[in-house]
Amino acid sequence: MNVSDYDYELPPDSIARYPAQRRDRSRLLVLSRSTGETAHRTFRDVLDLLAPGDLLVLNDTRVIPARIIGVAPGGGRVELLLLEAVEGDRWRAIGRPGRRLRPGSEAQFGGGRLRATVHAVEDDGNRLVDLYYEGELLEVLDEVGEPPLPPYIDRAAEPLDRERYQTVYAREPGAVAAPTAGLHFTQELLGAIRERGVEIGYVTLHVGLGTFRPVRAERVEEHRMHSEYFRVSPEFAAQANARTGRLVAVGTTVTRTLESAADEAGCIRAGAGRTEIFIYPGYEFRAVEAMITNFHLPRSTLLMMVSAFAGGRERIMAAYQEALEQGYRFYSYGDAMMIL
C-alpha cells in the first residue's frame, strides 16, 4: 500500500483552532462497519448508540505542561518540548533553535525555577537534557510550562487550554498530546452512560508526538512505528473479559492499548510495557468492537488505523469527504466519529 493513498486535501478553515463551547455539543458522524452508511448526530447522542452490557474504555493519561520557553546564557530564546523521561531527571526533548541547544548548552526557565543542560543530540535531532529544579517536577512544570498544543492549531496556548486540552477523567501524568476522542466527554455524560447500564473502564497509554506525525516512507509497510508506554491493570482485564456487550474503545490510543494487550482469542491480558503495534488495512482486530475517534491528519498512522477498523480506505475517505461537505471540524479540538 502506498502512503499517498491516505492523503487528502483539508481546507485550513476546517481545522478546529478552539474547542466547541461545550464538550458534548461537538458533532458526531456515525459510520456503520457493515454497510458503510452514515448518520449525523451530536456527541451527546453517543448515549443512544451504547447498549447495556457494553464496556466503554477510556485512556486516563494526563497531559503534562511539557512546552517550556526560556533563555540561554547569552540571552537568546530557547524552547523545549519534553517528550518522555529517559532515566531520573534526564528527558528526551525536541529543542529549538538547534544552534543554542548543542551538547553542554544550558538554559533556564521560569526565572531559574527550572534549568536544563543538553547532554546529547540523538540521530533524529531530539535532545537528551538533564533537568535541575527544587521540589516536584510536575509542580514546577505547572508553574513554568504550558500545554503542548499541536502545531496545526496555529496559536499560542491560552488559559482555557489547561482545562480543555485535557479529558475530565485524566489522572496519570505522562502524555505530551491529548487522547482527543475523550475530550468530548463530560462528567454528566459519563454519569448518564453508567445509568444506562454501560460499564466504564480505564487503561493508560501515554500519548507521544509520534502518534500524530505523517508517515515519511513511500510504502505503508516500510514505516517503523514509534513506541509508547501503556498499562492494563488486572482489575480492568477482569472487567473486560467478563463483559456481556461490546468492547468500545474511546480513541486510537485505547484501540492501540487493547489490541496490544489482547491474545489471539481476544482475551485481555494485564501488564505494562511499550507497544509498537502498527494497525493498517489487513489487520484482524482481536478485541475492539466499536470505536469513537476524531478526524485525523492525512498520511498518518491514525488514519490508517481507522481505515482498517472501518473496512478499508475507500470507506473512510468517503466518510471524510462527507464530513467536509457537512462542515465538520477536524483534528484535536474538532468533531468526532463513531465507527460501529
Query: What are the sequence ranges of the domains in the chain?
Result: 3-63+162-339, 67-146
Q: Stretch 265-277: mean pLDDT, rounded?
A: 96
Are 307 and 281 within 8 A, CB to CB? Answer: yes
Span 4-34, pLDDT tens digits: 999 999 999 999 999 999 999 999 999 999 9
**86 three-class SS:** strand
Q: Given pLDDT bands bounded at 50, 70 and 90, which one contains residue 232?
A: very high
| pLDDT over 60 at 200, yes or no | yes
Give CA–CA dist 182/170, Å, rounded: 9
For 45-65, letters b (16+ CB in 10 Å) and e give ebeebbeeebbbbbbbbbbbb
Closest CA to 110 of 146, 83, 64, 85: 146
pLDDT tens track for 72-112: 988 899 999 999 999 999 999 999 998 899 999 999 999 99
Q: How many helices (H) and strands (E) does the chain have?
A: 8, 18
Contacts of residue 286, defined as CB under 8 A and 6 or more positions apart, other chains included, come to: 259, 262, 263, 264, 265, 266
Mean pLDDT of the 130-158 span: 96
What pLDDT score does 224 carry? 79
C-beta of residue 215 within 8 angstroms of C-beta of residue 3: yes
- pLDDT band at residue 209 under the 50/70/90 scheme: confident
Res. 226: pLDDT tops 90: no
The answer to whether 290 touches 248, Cβ cutoff 8 Å, is yes
Give the Cα separation of 164 and 297 in Å (integer).
20
Closest CA to 304 of 181, 219, 230: 219
pLDDT of residue 213: 64
Phi and psi at 103, nearest 5°, equal -50, 130
CB atoms inside a 10 Å sphere around CB 206? 24
How far apart CA 296 and CA 320 sit, in angstroms, is 9
CB atoms within 10 A of CB 131: 21
Please give the DSSP secondary-structure letter assigned to residue 194. Answer: H
Taking the C-alpha atoms of residue 177 and residue 308, their distance in angstroms, rounded to an integer, is 23
The amino acid sitting at 235 is E
Cβ burial, residue 169 (10 Å; 0-12/13-18/19+): middle
Fold of the domain spanning 67-146: Thrombin, subunit H (2.40.10)
Nearest Cα neighbor of 253 from 223, 217, 218, 226 is 226
CATH 3.50.50.60 fits 3-63+162-339, yes or no: no
